[in-house]
A = this chain, B = another copy of it.
């Protein structure tokens, strides 16, 4: 279905499942992106009522996870313990790194990173729940950085 990176067919399913999860759970309107293993967008959707900077935020969560190779929860821990490093990394990245939960690595059966999903709109914990469920729903493995 894919070799090194996630296909559009799988990325679409993850994006749609994230939105479905958010609506079913009564969360705030979500915005979600799936990036390939090179950090480039495969699919992104912003639900009606989501605020205007949400696309950049979900991209920052997913890109940050790929950039350092950890899920957002580990990025958040490092941001707490090593704030100077994360500030420097954010500058280095031209700002496009958001170190909070809701950035999730997507791994295949061998543990290879094939992409990442970023979600924003509700609390970071709730954002993450939707992403985890959506990655599992397509038979892949979410890595939130626990």
Identical copies of this chain, number? 4
Interface code A123-138, partner B: CB below 8 Å = 1, 0 otherwise? 0000000000000000
Interface size grouping (class) on chain A: 35 or more
Task: Kindly identify which residue among B46, B51, B89 contacts A66, using a CB–CB cutoff of 8 Å.
Answer: B51
User: Given A12-B45, A40-B53, A53-B68, 5 other A-B contacts at CB below 8 A?
Assistant: A8-B45, A42-B46, A85-B98, A85-B99, A88-B97
Q: Is the CB of A100 closer than 8 A to any CB of chain B? A: yes
Which A residues have a C-beta under 8 Å from some C-beta of B? 3-5, 7-8, 11-12, 36-48, 50-53, 55-57, 60, 66-69, 76, 79-80, 82-100, 112-114
Docked CA distance A85–B83 (Å): 11
Please name the 10 residue pairs, one residue from A and one from B, whose CB atoms are nearest each other, closest first: A38-B38, A51-B69, A53-B67, A91-B95, A79-B84, A41-B55, A44-B44, A40-B52, A92-B95, A88-B98
